[in-house]
């Protein structure tokens, strides 16, 4: 059926956005077989590292004293500081409220004990079902690190596949800290050396292929500092050129680069202590140009990089840009970036990923993002109607499907 006017357009877009199940291309959540690695429930939600950073704007206790508290005590402190002593207007605080509200809990009551008691009745397996349903998410891509001992043990001993959770092989320890980690590869039976001899290169390739296969990883991934340059004289650049890209090409897997993180600018804050810096787009351009048979998924952390990243994606079909990452995942910035992407790339991008670290966050991150993506898409369609174009509801559903999952899966399957 054709949409006739702006009102019917808006309701068709809202319906399509609401009804389309998402593929969430980057998260940090796990299925229940990963045990304690799966974070969920109100205490994990409140102690999300985004809220920890905000709490220390107010709380006067030393960092170490915070880390000595139990999770529940940490949550009590954050709740008191950010929700009781101040109104919770920051996006990460609002997110907690959206989750509780969508679960049907009484947010106005401000009753942390009641929220805790709701979660205490649930098993992780039951809650995964509830969250995926409420969030409208079909499947998520995890962040899987074989250098993490707890995670590695599950993959090797007790992993049980759940089709809703797909894997991505994360390579930060290998690529960013080769000097500190090469001996671990050696201990696992790979014939490697710190100097990256040609034998070592073949062995690292063997390691990558083993884990891609074992995890059925959809892509290989790394987070990179703003100073990253592929022309740099570093073990990282060499490993990317000689190991990662050849394996990606051979297995037809994209290489995901998340660029712009300055690690531990404030070490006292631990996971909450990372920051952002503007990176050089040339790192992306030169990789896409030099490796046309490789596929690159890229997101950049700095707002200042977003325009040139869109332009790069216009130039290289082996580049698919995704998400409004971390400090960009705020309504005003998501709106600005999404609008710019529609204008420069049409429907050819992945508007958002959740980056959920806590299962529950799928609910709020997708609720908030869907609303903005829908509003901006509506505005773009309205411009087409003003130009005399006709839109069918089926076409709107098709386009929303392209944005919320189709582009990702097409890219995964595409052969260059
Ligand atoms: O957004 C976050 O939670 C960050 O701490 C990082 O995990 C980041 O998303 C990453 O994947 O490195
Ligand atoms: Zn992440």
**DSSP notation for 341-408:** HHHHHTT-SB------SBTTHHHHHHHHHHHHHHHHHHHHHHHHHHTT---BHHHHHHHHHIIIIIHH
For residue 223, the ligand 1 atom closest to its alpha carbon is: 12
CB distance 194 to 204 below 8 Å: no
**For ligand 1, is residue 214 a contact (CB within 6 Å)?**
no
- What was the pLDDT predicted at 107? 98
| Dihedral Cα 118, 124, 128, 130, nearest 10 deg | -30
Of 151, 199, 141, 207, whose CA–CA distance to 174 is shortest? 207
How would you classify the pairing of strands 261-262 and 296-300? unpaired
Look up the pTM and report it: 0.98
- What was the pLDDT predicted at 4? 84
**DSSP notation for 294-322:** S-EEEEES-GGGHHHHHHHHHH-TTEEEB
Residues lying with their CB under 5 A of ligand 2, a single-atom ion: 355
**For ligand 1, is residue 223 a contact (CB within 6 Å)?**
yes
- The SS3 assignment for 146 reads coil
- For the domain covering 2-413, report its CATH number: 3.20.20.140
Backbone conformation region of residue 123, classed left if phi is above 0, alpha if psi is from -120 to 50, else beta: beta
Distance 35 CA to ligand 2 centre (A): 20
Whole-number CA gyration radius for the chain: 22
Distance 355 CA to ligand 1 centre (A): 7
Distance 226 CA to ligand 1 centre (A): 15
Reading the chain (416 residues) residue by residue, the pLDDT tens digits are 899 899 999 999 999 999 999 999 999 999 999 999 999 999 999 999 999 999 999 999 999 999 999 999 999 999 999 999 999 999 999 999 999 999 999 999 999 999 999 999 999 999 999 999 999 999 999 999 999 999 999 999 999 999 999 999 999 999 999 999 999 999 999 999 999 999 999 999 999 999 999 999 999 999 999 999 988 899 999 999 999 999 999 999 999 999 999 999 999 999 999 999 999 999 999 999 999 999 999 999 999 999 999 999 999 999 999 999 999 999 999 999 999 999 999 999 999 999 999 999 999 999 999 999 999 999 999 999 999 999 999 999 999 999 999 999 999 999 99
What CA–CA distance (Å, rounded) separates 129 from 125?
7
CB distance 254 to 321 below 8 Å: no
Of 126, 127, 167, 163, whose CA–CA distance to 45 is shortest? 127
**For ligand 1, is residue 176 a contact (CB within 6 Å)?**
no
The residue whose C-alpha atom lies closest to atom 12 belonging to ligand 1 is 223
Distance 408 CA to ligand 1 centre (A): 20
For residue 172, the ligand 1 atom closest to its alpha carbon is: 12
Q: List CB contacts of 33: < 8 A, sequence separation 6 or more.
A: 154, 158, 159, 160, 162
| Among the bound ligands, the one closest to the CA of 223 | 1
What CA–CA distance (Å, rounded) separates 397 from 249?
33
Distance 390 CA to ligand 1 centre (A): 41
Given ligand 1 and candidates 168, 223, 354, which is best to mutate, with the most ligand atoms within 8 Å of its CB?
Answer: 223
Per the document, the length of the chain is 416
- What was the pLDDT predicted at 395? 98
Q: Where are the domains of the chain?
A: 2-413
What CA–CA distance (Å, rounded) separates 366 from 22?
9
- The SS3 assignment for 163 reads coil
**For ligand 1, is residue 98 a contact (CB within 6 Å)?**
no
- The SS3 assignment for 218 reads strand
The residue whose C-alpha atom lies closest to atom 2 belonging to ligand 1 is 326
Provide the token pair at 346: 């049409």
| Among the bound ligands, the one closest to the CA of 259 | 1
């Amino acid at each position: 059926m054709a949409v006739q006017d702006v009102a019917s357009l808006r309701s068709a877009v809202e319906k399509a956005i609401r009804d389309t199940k998402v593929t969430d291309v980057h998260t940090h959540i796990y299925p229940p077989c990963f045990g304690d690695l799966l974070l969920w429930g109100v205490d994990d939600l409140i102690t999300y590292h985004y809220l920890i950073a905000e709490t220390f704007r107010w709380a006067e206790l030393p960092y170490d004293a915070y880390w000595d508290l139990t999770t529940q005590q940490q949550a009590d402190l954050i709740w008191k500081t950010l929700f009781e002593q101040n109104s919770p207007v920051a996006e990460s605080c609002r997110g907690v409220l959206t989750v509780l509200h969508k679960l049907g809990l009484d947010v106005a009551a401000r009753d942390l004990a009641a929220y805790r008691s709701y979660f205490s009745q649930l098993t992780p397996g039951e809650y995964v079902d509830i969250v995926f349903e409420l969030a409208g998410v079909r499947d998520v891509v995890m962040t899987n690190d074989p250098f993490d001992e707890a995670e590695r043990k599950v993959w090797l001993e007790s992993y049980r596949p759940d089709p809703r959770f797909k894997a991505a092989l994360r390579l930060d320890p290998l690529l960013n800290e080769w000097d500190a980690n090469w001996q671990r590869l050696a201990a696992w039976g790979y014939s490697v050396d710190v100097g990256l001899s040609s034998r070592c290169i073949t062995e690292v390739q063997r390691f990558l292929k083993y884990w891609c296969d074992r995890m059925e990883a959809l892509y290989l991934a790394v987070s990179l500092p703003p100073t990253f340059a592929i022309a740099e004289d570093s073990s990282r650049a060499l490993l990317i050129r000689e190991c990662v890209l050849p394996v990606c090409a051979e297995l037809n897997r994209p290489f995901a680069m998340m660029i712009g993180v300055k690690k531990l600018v404030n070490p006292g804050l631990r996971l909450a202590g990372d920051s952002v810096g503007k990176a050089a787009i040339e790192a992306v351009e030169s990789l896409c140009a030099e490796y046309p048979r490789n596929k690159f998924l890229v997101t950049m952390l700095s707002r200042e990089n977003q325009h040139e990243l869109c332009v790069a994606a216009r130039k290289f079909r082996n580049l698919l840009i995704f998400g409004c990452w971390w400090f960009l995942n705020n309504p005003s910035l998501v709106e600005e970036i999404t609008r710019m992407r529609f204008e420069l790339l049409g429907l050819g991008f992945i508007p958002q990923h959740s980056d959920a670290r806590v299962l529950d966050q799928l609910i709020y991150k997708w609720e908030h993002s869907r609303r903005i993506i829908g509003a901006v898409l509506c505005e773009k369609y309205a411009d087409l109607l003003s130009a005399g174009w006709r839109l069918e509801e089926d076409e709107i559903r098709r386009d929303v499907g392209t944005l919320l999952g189709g582009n990702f899966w097409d890219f995964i399957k595409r052969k260059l």
